[in-house]
A = this chain, B = another copy of it.
Amino acid sequence: MSHDIDLPDLTERRVQTEDLLQGHFLRVVRDTVALPSGAQSYREYCIHPGAVMIIPLLDETSAANPTVLMERQYRYPVASHLIEFPAGKLDPNEDLLHCAQRELMEETGYRAQYWAHLGCIHPCIAYSTERIDIWLARGLTQGQQSLDADEFLTLLPMSVTALQDHFLRGELTDAKTVSGLTWLEHYLAGRVQVQWLDAAGKVFP
């Protein structure tokens, strides 16, 4: 923030890390931390490799109300079918754009000609290191999905207004997807300057 200089430093400093869990999927640690007061406390959190989310502009015939490519999946921890933007975790040493292209292709079968980075979110700041980088994708062409063996999803093209209606009915509850909608709304309102890249990651004029 531009006025950071006026704000207190509340940094908590690591004293010690203890491994609590290495599951098939989740890794959890407990850090002993020094608080700003000098006292000590514990922070328990999941170690996450980072992820990307893609906002795929499937049809821009209506510039103000494009069609975006959504997914509908069953999410076991919340026992619901949810509508989401395509997303997935970074592989080791994978760069963000490569991950976005791979996840879009694996989950939806689509490739995109042009890519722009919008921003990032932290879904779970109290107990996960996860960061999700959000990409806008356009110039889509259809190919073959290649889902993981335990991944089941339905592709759901929706206009932005239909997505907003879903949100306003209280049914769009995935926080990364709601955050993506916010970025998309500000983009469509002309409030976001983006830098388009081609599929090789080169700046596109």
Contact = CB atoms under 8 A, between A and B. Distances in A.
Contacts of A149: 39, 41
B11 A125 contact: no
Contact of A175 (B42, B83, B153, B176): B176
A190 to B, nearest CB: 11
B124 A128 contact: yes
B44 A26 contact: yes
A196 interface: no
Interface string A172-184: 0111101101100
B127 A46 contact: yes
Residue of A33, A39, A178 most packed against chain B (CB within 10 A): A178
Interface in A90-138: 119-132
A200 interface: no
A60 interface: no
List the number of copies, as a whole number: 2
Contacts of A178: 121, 175, 178-179, 182
A57 to B, nearest CB: 19
Interface residues of A, number: 76
A123 B124 contact: yes
A77 B120 contact: no
Nearest to A4: B81
A128 B176 CA distance: 14
A73 interface: yes
Interface of A: 1, 4, 7-8, 10-12, 20-21, 23-26, 28, 30-31, 33, 35-37, 39, 41-46, 72-78, 80-84, 119-132, 149-150, 152-154, 164, 166-168, 170-171, 173-176, 178-179, 181-182, 185-186, 191-192
